[in-house]
Structure 1
Amino acid sequence: MKKTIVYTAFAILACTGLNSCNLFDVTNPYVTEDRFINSPQAATIWMNGVKRQASQTVGTVVEFTELVSDNYFNNYTQSSKVFDIPEINHFDIDVRRVQTSIHLLLETARFGIDKVLPNDPESTPLQLAECNFYMGYAHLLAGELYVAMPEAPNGAVLSPQQHLEKAIQYFTVAQNSYPDAKDKLSCDLAVARAYHRMGNKTAASTAALKITDADPLLLRQVFYGTQSGPGNNFQNAIFSGTINQFAPLPRLDFLDPKYFNLTSVIVDDQKPISILKAEEAFLILSEVALADSDIQTAKAFLVRLVEDVVSKRPVTTLDDSRETRNGGNRNDYPLTEVDVRFDANSPWKSGLVLDRQAGEINAFSVSGTHVTVADINHAATVDQLLYLTYLIRQEVFFAEGRRMTDLGIRFPISELEFNNNSNVNESHLVTMMPAFIPLNLEMDDFTVDPVTGNVTMKHDMNKVLVTNKQSDLVIPLF
């Protein structure tokens, strides 16, 4: 019996974005594997699908992990109702959605490597490199976000460490096939990110230095838009939609929106999401230095990061006067310029909450931070600089789905996988939630002074992370 490719999961995914889809019989819900891989332009068509799936996977990861973290609060009634608590259960459909999106990326990339490209005489080294890159990226996400995850349908369950090792293997293979120097460097950066998560100081530092030396503005993104999609759903949630469903932590207000449309044709004005950027290398190298108690080197990397990287990222002025934080779950979000303190024992800071009715605001579509060179130079201890390192990490990776991992939280394997894969056991159904993570919505909580309107955050989670730096669950290089 000939194998088939499920139409909705693969064929339409690969076909979307082309002017013609006549290689597929749209009246038939299945397309045979042999028919597809022996078709003209099979590799080109499939690679469009891989890139589309990468965009969809990243969009799904960003939406749900941002809610789990202290970056955004679901201030409406859509999306997850419990991730903000944070409450994460193996039977939650949103846990399954994230896992499914990662698995789809794994399988589309794998099918390209194993079946499509070898059978298309017109396939190119670049296409092979891209398939291996996205295979590595899917393993990287699995290793960062889940307590464990199968490597294939009904396959063996791999630990986070094993997924990260697989990611490094695929990024290395991709690097050897890429013809372009920037793509090769992107693989080095991805490897640095994986080694950082594994706690390997030497390997993470070696890979990160390649980026800081060669291309301090390196950037890799996934893209959205056009009539064929996919759309950036997170952009809709924070800017384009009639009701902006997600509200940022008040101290991060100045970074929202990261994704926005400047034209009325929203479908054609969808912002990309960054998945790898040079900021990561500088932050890794700062953490490496601090783990070795080298304060001056850490300062030097952070200063370079602020002066030579973040300050050179694009800044767009836009009208955000429609934003009224009007979701409805909380109605006390500040809407004018007020001071903020990060917890009850922290100093007041200005400029973090914007008055969007007063005129155009600055939007940081790649990276932004309020941390200054003066702040860095003023820090005198390892803990003070480690705090700034993780504060900058939170700000520059804001709305990119990275914060949940820095908080040490991991999703369990989904109930559907447990019911269908005999390799999954009950230990895989337990969420990783560090004991120091505040529950009952406290990570997103704040109080407003009734007289001044100034805001006090309930918890400064970067302070919590530094206090718990010796935990195996956070700050990997300590």
Structure 2
Amino acid sequence: MKKYISIIIAGGMLALHGCSVLNPNVTEPVYLDNPNPAKSWVTGMRRQLALTMNQVVVSTELVSDNYFNNRTLSSKVFDIPQIDYFDLDVNNLQVQVQRLREMSEYGLTKVLPADASSTASDSAEVYFSGAFAHLLSGELFVGLPGAAKGAVLTPAQHYNIALDQLNKAIGLSKDAAEIAAYTLLKARVYYALGDAANAALYAKTALNNTALLRQVKYDGVNNVPNDMQTYLYSSTNNEFAPLPRLDFLDPKYYHTGLPATDQKPVTIVKAEEGFLILAETQISAGNLDDGRNTLLQLLSVVNGRPVVLIDDKKETRNGGNRTDYPLTAVKVKFDAADSLRSNYVLNRQAGNIKAYTVSGTMVTVNDLQTATTQDRLLYVLYRMRQEIFIAEGRRMTDLGIKFPVSQTEQLNNPNVKDTDIKAQIPAFIPLNRGMDDFTYDKANGVVTMKYDMNAVLVNNKHAKEIFPFIN
């Protein structure tokens, strides 16, 4: 029986698409005998990484308190949050993550060995892609198979595979920036494993490059647009609405000119995470002064990231599912007990606004200097994590929420157990769309969040799903 490779060629990009046959003339031997198959495979993996991150960012940002689905055809229940194993969006996310893993495995076992011209750099990128797929599997799911119809691996098992593949990528790479990125990803994996010593070690090592930045690129001309950019800015309607206290950070992605030719990248590795990981190990261990100093250094890095002025006058939060979003520069309260805060909600009709293309935060030096207890420093740290990582698909994991294995997998894989198809939603997570809820006192110009989720996290810091270094 012939084995076919299903491919799409678009602007030089090639991607594997499961078992479907889009080109019956391309069998595996034909493809592998073509000149330089490794190069085209690596290019295809970059495309798949972009598609994977589209699904990751859109789905997880909706589940979190960062964004509310104010119009789109994306999940209408993730905002609750309600995460059912039979939900099509759950399956779509699993498919994209597993496709990235399978492409890496095929590259390692078939493409690279068949191509004498393949380089160590090619191998390093294929290992990285596999490691990243396993990292996402562990962060986002209660468990996922590690092979087609294979056993469902725990997050810890996925993390350990990711570490092995990152080590191989580091050993093969000659590029200092790539090595720093892979090293910081190792710190992220050890963070997820709750290994404070190794998380701090690799975070420090990566921070030799305080400008570290690795991003996933998009190509609207060849039908690989940044979906989050579409929902935040490019769409005629305003699809996703940020929680009002995060309004000042929206949009992270935007276009000037034609949307198709100006698709902004999504960050997957940046130096800021090294500081955040290191600070959390220090604060969790009771080394409050060290943790505060690390966050002060982080603040300098964030303040040095690019900020651009953009015209966002068309933004009217007009999606329609909720019509009471403030559109002028009102005061904000993080919850009912909070004091009034300014500059969180912008008046976009008053002129160009700032867009924080890599990282932004409203946390100040004074906020850090006046945080004198462990709980207060943890609160500021997690607020910084939320603001720095907004629209990058990271907040859901900080909330301790994980997706289940999908129904499609369950129906085709006898290894899937009943416990695998139940989402992880910690008991402290407000339901009924509470995380996205607020009240708007229009007469007095005050918006009050129903919950300050960073305070909720700190109040539940001993919950097993969150704060990896707190016992």
Task: Determine if the TM-score, normalized by the shorter chain, exceeds 0.5.
Answer: yes
Find the aligned partners of 2:251 and 2:120 in 1 and give their Cα distance. 37
Conserved 8 A contact 2:134-2:159: yes
**1:176-191 superposed matches below 5 A:** 176-191=171-186
Conserved 8 A contact 1:324-1:335: yes
Question: 5+ unaligned residues in a row in structure 1: which ranges?
Answer: none
Conserved 8 A contact 2:72-2:240: no
Residue 314 (structure 2) aligned to one of 302, 322, 325 = 322
Question: 5+ unaligned residues in a row in structure 2: which ranges?
Answer: 16-20
TM-score (norm 1): 0.95
Give 2:453's aligned residue.
Answer: 461
Find the aligned partners of 1:462 and 1:450 in 2 and give their Cα distance. 25
Residue 136 (structure 2) aligned to one of 138, 141, 144 = 141
Q: For each residue in 1:400-433, what CA deviation from the matched residue of structure 2 results, as whole angstroms up to 9, or x when unmatched? A: 0000000000000000000000111111011101
Find the aligned partners of 1:98 and 1:194 in 2 and give their Cα distance. 20
Structure 1 residues 207 and 20 mapped into 2: Cα distance closer, same or farther (>3 Å)?
Answer: closer
Offset at residue 110 of structure 1 (A): 1.2
Conserved 8 A contact 1:189-1:281: yes
Residue 270 (structure 1) aligned to one of 255, 258, 263 = 263
Find the aligned partners of 1:236 and 1:27 in 2 and give their Cα distance. 28
Residue 224 (str. 1) matches residue 190 (str. 2): no
Give 2:121's aligned residue.
Answer: 126
Residue 357 (structure 1) aligned to one of 338, 349, 354 = 349
Structure 1 residues 449 and 129 mapped into 2: Cα distance closer, same or farther (>3 Å)?
Answer: same
**1:71-470 superposed matches below 5 A:** 71-212=66-207, 214-263=208-257, 265-307=258-300, 309-470=301-462
User: What is the aligned residue count?
Assistant: 465
- Paired residue type of 1:194: V
Secondary structure, aligned partner of 1:4: coil
Find the aligned partners of 1:127 and 1:60 in 2 and give their Cα distance. 25
Find the aligned partners of 1:463 and 1:472 in 2 and give their Cα distance. 17
Conserved 8 A contact 1:205-1:284: yes
- Paired residue type of 2:293: A
Offset at residue 77 of structure 1 (A): 4.2
Conserved 8 A contact 2:13-2:44: no
Conserved 8 A contact 1:102-1:142: yes
Find the aligned partners of 2:25 and 2:243 in 1 and give their Cα distance. 46
Q: For each residue in 1:235-277, what CA deviation from the matched residue of structure 2 results, as whole angstroms up to 9, or x when unmatched? A: 00010010120000000000000000012x2111000000011
Give 2:18's aligned residue.
Answer: none
TM-score (norm 2): 0.97
- Paired residue type of 1:383: D
Conserved 8 A contact 1:17-1:229: no
Find the aligned partners of 1:40 and 1:217 in 2 and give their Cα distance. 37
Offset at residue 124 of structure 1 (A): 0.8
Secondary structure, aligned partner of 1:321: coil
Give 1:33's aligned residue.
Answer: 28
Q: For each residue in 1:87-126, what CA deviation from the matched residue of structure 2 results, as whole angstroms up to 9, or x when unmatched? A: 0000000000000000110011111111111111111111
Give 1:475's aligned residue.
Answer: 467
Offset at residue 27 of structure 1 (A): 7.4
Find the aligned partners of 2:175 and 2:220 in 1 and give their Cα distance. 27
Find the aligned partners of 2:73 and 2:148 in 1 and give their Cα distance. 30
Offset at residue 17 of structure 1 (A): 2.5
Structure 1 residues 312 and 275 mapped into 2: Cα distance closer, same or farther (>3 Å)?
Answer: same
Structure 1 residues 150 and 343 mapped into 2: Cα distance closer, same or farther (>3 Å)?
Answer: same
Which piece of structure 1 moves more, 61-70 or 72-81? Answer: 72-81
Give 1:3's aligned residue.
Answer: 3
Residue 37 (structure 2) aligned to one of 36, 42, 56 = 42
Offset at residue 226 of structure 1 (A): 4.5
Offset at residue 229 of structure 1 (A): 3.4
Q: For each residue in 1:322-360, what CA deviation from the matched residue of structure 2 results, as whole angstroms up to 9, or x when unmatched? A: 000000011110100011010001111100000000000
Structure 1 residues 338 and 19 mapped into 2: Cα distance closer, same or farther (>3 Å)?
Answer: closer
Secondary structure, aligned partner of 2:214: strand
